[in-house]
Structure formats: C-alpha cells, structure tokens
Amino acid sequence: MIDQVRSHVAEKLEELDGVVALRRTSAGTAPSLFKKGDDVSQLELTPRYGLASIVSTLQKHDPEARLGVVARGCDVRALVEMAKRELVDPDRLFILGVACTAEEAEECHCADPAPHTEGWPESEVVGEPVAAGSPDPLVAEYDGMSLDERRDFWERQFAKCFKCYGCRNICPECFCESCALEDPLWVERGVLGPPFPVFHLIRAMHMAGRCVACRQCELTCPAHIPLTVLYDLMRRDVEDLLGYVPGQDIEALPPLSLNLEEAPLQQELE
Amino acid sequence: MDYHTVSTTCVYCGAGCGLWLEVLDGEIIGVLPDKEHPVSRGMLCIKGWNVASFVTHPDRLRTPLIRRGKAFEEASWDEALDLVAEKLTTARDKSGPDSVGFLASAKCTNEENYLIQKLARAVVRTNNVDHCARL
C-alpha cells in the first residue's frame, strides 16, 4: 500500500503546489510538505502524526496554494470539521485517504478506521477499510461506576495533570485565538494542579460536536490521563441527543452552531 | 511555500526531550513532540511545547553585554572573554580560589558541564562547583 501512496503522491505533485505527508530523514519521520521533484520514497505512513492542523496553517499562509494531504480516517474527519468552520478550504485541498490496518484500528480502539471522503470535492482512497477496533474497555468500566465512583475516578485522573497544554496544542479542532484555558478567570496562573474539574471539563465541553477521536491528545499527555474516554463520553452524548457525529458528513452543520429549532434534541434529557 | 520539520532536543532541562520545530518559509512557527524519541516518546512539558518562543524573542541577547556603571554596553566576544579572564584571575589571586563559585546548568551538555568544573578545579583551583538550581 505504501508504494501505491507514493506513486499517487508523485503523480499529484505534477499539478499540486505540495502534498502534506510524513517524511523520513536521517533524523526520523515527521510531517513535511512534499514538492514536485522531491524524493517520494521518503514518504511514510507512520508514526501517526495529525496532519489536519498543518494543512490549515499552510492554507492560511498561502491562500492561493493548491495542496494535497495523505490522510487517515481521523485526519479526514478533522478536515471535514475544520472545513465546516472555514479553517480549511476543501476546494483547494486534494485528500489521498489511507485506510488504517487492523492492528492500528485495534491500537486506537477506533470505531471507524477508514477515510470517508464522500462530499469532499477531490479525493482518492488507498487501501481496503478494515473493521472497527474493539471498544476501549475503560468506557464499559466507567459506565458501570456510580456517580461517586465516577467523580473519584476523574479526581484521581485530573490530579495527575501538570498543565502542559499538550492536549490543547495538538488537537486539530482547537483553534481559538484566545483560549479559555489561558484565561486567569478560569485557570489560575502558577498553580498546579489545574482547578478540578473546571480545566478538563472546559476542554470536554469545547470538544462537543468537534472531537473526531484522533486520540492525539491522549498520546501526547505525559500524565497518561484517559482523555479519549472523557471525550468519547461527550461524543456519545452528542450523538444520542443531537444525532451528530463529528467528521461524518460534510453537509451536516455542527449542532452547537444552531439553535434547538434547527437542531432539536432527539432524546429527553434525564 | 516551504514547510518542513527540524529535529532537535529541548534546551530547558536535563531530560532532553526530542521535538520537531515546524519551519514555514524559513520561520519557526511551532513545535511537535517527537513520537519516535526514546526518552520523550511523543510527550512534552509546557516548557518543551514553548521552546521555540525564545528563538526570535526581542529580549534575546544578540551580543555580549558588559556592565559599565549602571548601564549594560554591547561588546565583542573577545572583549567580554578578556574581561572575564582578567576578573577571575584577580579574584583568585587577591581573594583566594574559594572566593569564586561556579554554577553549571542542565541547559548545557554534559561535556560543557565537564569543562566548567575543569576550569573551576584546575585553573581557579576551587571546588566550589554547583548547579544553577541553587539560584
């Protein structure tokens, strides 16, 4: 599959200004912009860095550039949500979707390890989509907890946090120029740990209708806080209450941008 | 438009976390944690995430500065090093080797820290060697 990806990219570089993908050099493998004439044998698919934010930055930097990106399912979902918020221009971005392997889907407990590019103006998909990974056992464990146990659980988890802001920095959907987590009104400066539960719940609330389960937050958290479980729960509620799954349908507007008449609740609140 | 990532090590503490500097058209625009780094494995602390902020910071020193009176004046490296050598020699010879203290740093390499303690012990002849955390 990697050879297919490389030759597709080499082809596309003839007409595009660049393709965002992972480049392997002697120093390691990291995101880079491949240009026409570059050695595409350096293109890799792992380790899994999120590429959606980089695309957004490059498009903002050069509003005329026509770019491409080698994107996994989660990258595509992130790009779809960014497109809805005008952070990415779909008309100037070609997506080369890459299906994850079964091992990768299982490692991520991914519910949808395939790039869905329906509705995106220009795209191609490489690789056969595999079945979803098994769900994260922590979610089932959490569901079995009483309210007190849940509070204790998060209290213990959030107490590990030392405010590196990595979760916020790496998230493709975090784009606010003035971030609530840096506002001394909500988060006092120079104090560790972060205020419980405000710090993490602010992020969780902001992830409603946005989190695409790319898991980059949890992968970069040095305290190993189970952030995907936190945002999974939020995502589940948004799906149950509003029938909305982030990244799934480029035509569906984010419900938090609409009022209750335009996006009614589909379930009674308990 | 040119975008690429440059591998480097965080300068702030002795952990030496690996990271990638994002460079867009010759300018550092951000930091990504290095997922393959054996020590940091894709994680960074808040200092690592902000390691690029000092590179083009307006307050960053660009030349050595020598204090004359109340003011700091720009100087060349030769001027500055000559002055330091002169003053260290004077302090050692007039007030004794133990009148001088040396503070090493986790931001320096092991090799640089070796050199400073060598300077302290072999040249100034004191073992007043400690770490900048004492400050």
A106-159 pLDDT per residue, tens: 999 999 999 999 989 999 999 999 999 999 999 999 999 999 999 999 999 999
Distance spanning both ends of chain A, measured CA to CA: 48
Q: Does B33 touch chain A (CB under 8 A)?
A: yes
Identity at A238, one-letter amino acid code: V
Q: Convert the pLDDT of each residue in A101-116 to its tens digit.
A: 999 999 999 999 999 9
Question: Mutating which of B35, B40, B50 best tests the A interface, going by the most A Cβ atoms within 10 A?
Answer: B35
Interface membership of B77 toward A (CB under 8 Å): no
- Cα gap A100→A98, rounded to integer Å: 6
User: Does residue A270 have a pLDDT over 70?
Assistant: no
Cross-strand bridge partners of residue B27: B24
- Percent with pLDDT over 70 in chain A: 100
Judge whether residue A212 has pLDDT over 70.
yes
Q: Residue A256: is its pLDDT beyond 90? A: no
pLDDT band at A262 (very low <50, low <70, confident <90, very high): confident
Check A166 against B33: CB less than 8 A apart.
Answer: yes
CA pair distance A93, A65, nearest whole angstrom: 9
- Chain A CB contacts of B35 under 8 Å are 47-49, 219
How confident is the model over B17-41, as pLDDT tens digits? 999 999 999 999 999 999 999 999 9
Q: Give mean pLDDT, residues A222-240.
A: 93
pLDDT > 90? residue B125: yes
| pLDDT > 90: percent of chain A | 83
Bridge pairing between strands A43-44 and A67-71: unpaired
Q: Which of A48, A54, A108, A199 to mutate to test the interface with B (most CBs of B within 10 A)?
A: A54
Contact between chains at B3 and A23 (C-beta distance less than 8 A): no
| Residue in A206, A130, A169, A181 with CA at minimum distance from that of residue A50 | A169
Looking at the complex, report in whole angstroms how far the Cα of residue B132 sits from the nearest Cα belonging to chain A.
21
- Half-sphere exposure for B45 (CA within 13 Å, toward CB): 13
**How many C-beta neighbours within 10 Å does residue B43 have?**
20
Per-residue DSSP letter, A87: S
Q: Is B78 on the interface with A (CB under 8 A)?
A: no
Contact assignment for A220 to B5 by CB distance below 8 Å: no
Answer yes or no: do A54 and B3 touch at CB < 8 A. yes
Q: Please state, in angstroms and rounded to a whole number, the distance separating the CA atoms of residues A149 and A153.
A: 6
Give strand pairing partners of A130.
none
A26: tokens are: 């002697």
Q: Residues 38 to 67 of B: which have CB under 8 A from any A CB? A: 42-46, 48-49
CB contact under 8 A, A20 and B7: no
Chain segment B74-97, per-residue pLDDT in tens: 999 999 999 999 999 999 999 999
Three-state SS at B113: helix
Q: Alpha-carbon torsion A257, A261, A263, A269, what sign?
A: positive
Q: Find the range with the poorest average confidence among A65-69, B82-86, B108-112.
A: B108-112
Question: Residue A195: which pLDDT band, with cuts at 50, 70 and 90?
Answer: confident
The three state secondary structure string of A176-192 is: CCCCHHHCCCCCCCCCC
Distance from CA of A187 to the nearest CA of B (A): 15
CB A91 within 8 A of CB A124: no
Question: Is the Cβ–Cβ distance between A68 and A16 less than 8 Å?
Answer: yes
Q: Which of B34, B46, B48 sits opposite A28 (nearest CB)?
A: B34
**Per-chain mean pLDDT for chain B:** 94
The pair of structure tokens assigned to A226 is 């189970």
* Over residues A162-173, mean pLDDT: 94
Q: Which among A58, A219, A220 has CB closest to B3?
A: A58
Residue A211 three-state SS: coil
Output the pTM of the full model: 0.88
User: From residue B66, how far is each of B37, B73, B126 by CA, in Å?
Assistant: 40, 5, 25
**B46/A165 touch (CB, cutoff 8 Å), yes or no:** yes
Provide the shortest C-alpha distance from residue B53 to chain A (in Å). 14
Question: CA–CA separation, A88 vs A92, rounded Å?
Answer: 9
Structure tokens at A208: 């409603």
pLDDT tens, residue by residue, A6-53: 999 999 999 999 999 999 999 999 999 999 999 999 999 999 999 999
Tell me whether residues B35 and A18 touch, CB distance under 8 A. Answer: no
**pLDDT for B133 beyond 90:** no
Tokens matching residue A52: 């959606």
Per-residue CA distances from B30 to A57, A205, B27, B50, B106 (Å): 10, 26, 9, 8, 23
Which residue type occupies A170? Answer: I
Return the residue of A nearest to B20 by Cα. Answer: A30
From chain B, the residues in CB contact with A171 under 8 A are none
Q: With the CA atoms of B44, B50, B56 and B60 taken in that order, what torsion angle do they form, in degrees rounded to the nearest 10? A: -100
Contact of B17 with chain A, judged by CB distance below 8 Å, is answered with no
